[in-house]
Amino acid sequence: MEKIKNLKEGIGLTLENRPVTTWVNEIFGYQWESPSEISIHLENAQDKKLGEKLKLLRGGLKSIAKMVKSNLDIKLVSAVSWIITERPRLMETLGFIIDKTSGKAKEYRNKYLKALSQEGTVVPLEKKGVEPGYAYIMREKLLELYD
């Protein structure tokens, strides 16, 4: 439980071959995938009402947009999660493109599934069997919507 507490406090969880998550707010974090890409991560927020979740999610995207605006190298913000599979319209409403077929989508799904077996990975038990979806938003669209 200490590792999870540290993760939420922004210290990060360092696992072999896994970047550290930086938390923007209590449910929204990001990791650097490469110098030109960051991936977003959502903490379990079952205890929050829908309106509060959406406010935190949009606030997280606004924070990411500020970072993207000041860093010209970032071209892509991605996500891979069971949430994308179960709530694709949410991601599309937020400006993300759902990608089910590209090589990158397959690579990220495999990476996600491998991470599920590692200590410290937090996914609700009932969602561990859900095939993860992959979505992304390009720099220009992110800034148009959230800057």
pLDDT, tens digit, 9 for 90 and up, residues 23-35: 999 999 999 999 9
Residue 105 pLDDT grade (very low, low, confident, very high; cuts 50, 70, 90): confident
pLDDT of residue 124: 65
Residue 37 is given by DSSP the state: E
pLDDT, tens digit, 9 for 90 and up, residues 72-98: 999 999 998 888 988 899 999 999 999
Please give the Cα distance from 145 to 116 (Å, whole number): 31
Q: Is residue 135 predicted with pLDDT exceeding 90?
A: yes
> Looking only at Cα atoms, what is the longest distance across the chain?
39
Residue among 56, 61, 66, 81 nearest 132 (CA): 81
pLDDT of residue 108: 83
Residues 6 or more apart in contact with residue 128 via CB below 8 angstroms:
116
pLDDT of residue 101: 87
